Amino acid sequence: EGLIFKIEDWHSRVNLYKIYHRIFYSEKSSKEHGTLCANFNKMKCTNAKKGPHAAFNAYKEAVHKDTCALFIAAAMDYFKMDNIEGEHKDLIPQNIRDGTKEEQRSWLHNKVGDIVDTYILNTESSNMEEFYNGVHQASQPKQRELHPCRAPDCERVFRYPKARITHELNVHGLEAPETDQDGESEDKSEPSTKPSPCDYKKEHTEARLSFGMLLENMNDAVKEGDGERLLRLYRVALLYFKTYGHTQYAYSTLLMLVQVSSIFSPQKAHSLTWNRFWNTKGGKGKNDSLDLHVEHKNAFLKENLKGLGPNLTEQSADRISKSIGFLGQVLENTDEELEVVRPSGYHHKANTTQDIHSLVEVARETELFKFKANRAFNSYPNFNKNLFARLKYNSMWEWIKSKLKLWNKKYP
């Protein structure tokens, strides 16, 4: 009592990377150029191939390179660029080159928005709108279909089709067409339309880019300490958690969104939104998730407990765990006084430009963003770009409704 439990961001992002890995990674696709596994082989990311559960940092970095390469390839297709090297003077109009910084920034933002709309939101927005409308319709009370009498000037309305047929025959002398047992016309056939050809390679690539941009957005929101943007992104993460069986994270995410919007007071809601980050050294764009900071503390605690060796007892473990914060501060102060330089938590990484450029060339050679009918990766035949397709509207609404009833009793 008195404690407020909340979902944390680092563990949530790890689970989203697991879902990403489950959808887009397959060892069978290692020889198919343009797939995630083939790109990992291209960059020689052996640690990343172990998956986010075993090598999260390596996997996160490899996915970052892959997403950057896909976005650059999409931008090159949008601007009709043949190569990534050299100076493209015709790309930016002369009046923008000679304009102010604000005009140049506005032009760039508009073009980036057009690229996102063309290659990411072209069907993503329609899928989200369809899902919203489906859940909204499922939330409405069910109404029985009414059947008005088909005779002129008759205002009778019937609940059942057979009752209407009997009335029309006995009162108006109308003979109904041949019907089935439910009283519906047997001829329900509609003119068949030939399905439009699909390019499953292109849809697979755009879906991977869309999911990768979501992950990049969440990572950037954490770095910038932008709690409000992070909560907006959790609305999309909720659908991924629910669709792919991460029920506990779906529950916690929905509870957090409901707490912020209706349960908590404005003060607590503000704290839940913004009190999610930790900045060790200060500065913009250098925040970490609180739960990752706790994991670092746990590692420091285990290191000290391991040093006790055979002297480890329940009492000594309790004493060290309660003093771990003060112990860390003492060590930092001692190192500062003795001018001992401790290794930073940031590790300088090799230049990623070469890896990204090599993936861009792969995407351009395979023409992943060019529509070609009836092509697909052998490992992903008939790939559905709508990653929420397996989520049923009725079950989603019933799940939300059951949780709202539960929390209504728990949080009066």
Q: For the chain, what is the HEC assignment? A: CCCCCCCCHHHHHHHHHHHHHHHHCCHHHCCCCCCHHHHHHHHCCCCHHHCCCCCHHHHHHHHHHHHHHHHHHHHHHHHCCCCCCCCCCCCCCHHHHCCCHHHHHHHHHHHHHHHHHHHCHHHHHHHHHHHHHHHHHHCCCCCCCCEECCCCCCCCEECCHHHHHHHHHHHHCCCCCCECCCCCECCCCCCCCCCCCCEHHHHHHHHHHHHHHHHHHHHHHHHHCCHHHHHHHHHHHHHHHHHCCCHHHHHHHHHHHHHHHHHCCHHHHHHHHHCCEECCCCCCCCCEEHHHHHHHHHHHHHHHHHHHHHHCCHHHHHHHHHCHHHHHHHHHHHHHHCCCCCCCCCCCCCCCHHHHHHHHHHHHHCCCCCCCCCECCCCCCCCCCCCCCCCCHHHHHHHHHHHHHHHHHHCC
Mean pLDDT over 259-278 rounds to: 93
Question: Using N-to-C axis directions, what is the helix angle for 324-337 and 290-308, rounded to 10°?
Answer: 90
What was the pLDDT predicted at 186?
43
How far out from the chain centre does Cα 125 lie?
Answer: 13
pLDDT at 185 over 70: no
- For 314, phi then psi, to 5°, come to -65, -40
pLDDT at 323 over 90: no
What was the pLDDT predicted at 146?
81
In this structure, what is the dihedral angle of CA atoms 218, 219, 225, 230, given to the nearest 10 degrees?
A: 10
Q: Report the distance separating Cα 29 and Cα 38, nearest Å.
A: 7
Rg (CA), the chain: 29
207 vs 158, higher pLDDT: 207
What was the pLDDT predicted at 250?
95
- In this prediction, residue 178 has a pLDDT band, given cuts at 50, 70 and 90, of low
Mean pLDDT over 184-188 rounds to: 46
- Tell me: the pLDDT tens digits for 245-257? 999 999 999 999 9
Mean pLDDT over 232-237 rounds to: 94
Pairs from 349-354 (Cβ < 8 Å, separation ≥ 24): 349/61, 352/61, 352/64, 352/65, 352/68
Q: Strand 277-278 vs strand 288-289: parallel, antiparallel, or unpaired?
A: antiparallel
- For 120, phi then psi, to 5°, come to -120, -50
Q: Report the distance separating Cα 86 and Cα 179, nearest Å.
A: 72
Q: Tokens for 214, please give them.
A: 């979501």
pLDDT at 187 over 90: no
Mean pLDDT of the chain: 86
In this structure, what is the dihedral angle of CA atoms 241, 71, 274, 60, given to the nearest 10 degrees?
A: 60
What was the pLDDT predicted at 349?
61
pLDDT at 209 over 60: yes
What was the pLDDT predicted at 194?
60
Q: CA distances (Å), 175 to each of 89, 166, 169, 359, in order?
A: 76, 9, 6, 69
Q: Which residues of 270-283 are buried (b: 16+ CB within 10 A; e: fewer)?
A: eebbeebbbeeeee
**What percent of the residues of the chain are helix, what percent strand, and what percent coil, each to the nearest 5?**
60, 5, 35
In terms of Cβ atoms closer than 10 Å to its own Cβ (0-12, 13-18, 19+), residue 231 is: buried
Mean pLDDT over 64-80 rounds to: 93
pLDDT at 385 over 50: yes
162 vs 42, higher pLDDT: 42
- In this prediction, residue 163 has a pLDDT band, given cuts at 50, 70 and 90, of confident
Q: Within 10 A of 393 (CB to CB), how many other CB atoms are there? A: 17
Largest CA distance in the chain: 106
Q: Report the distance separating Cα 299 and Cα 317, nearest Å.
A: 14
Mean pLDDT over 45-67 rounds to: 94
The pTM of the full predicted model, rounded to 2 decimals, is 0.81
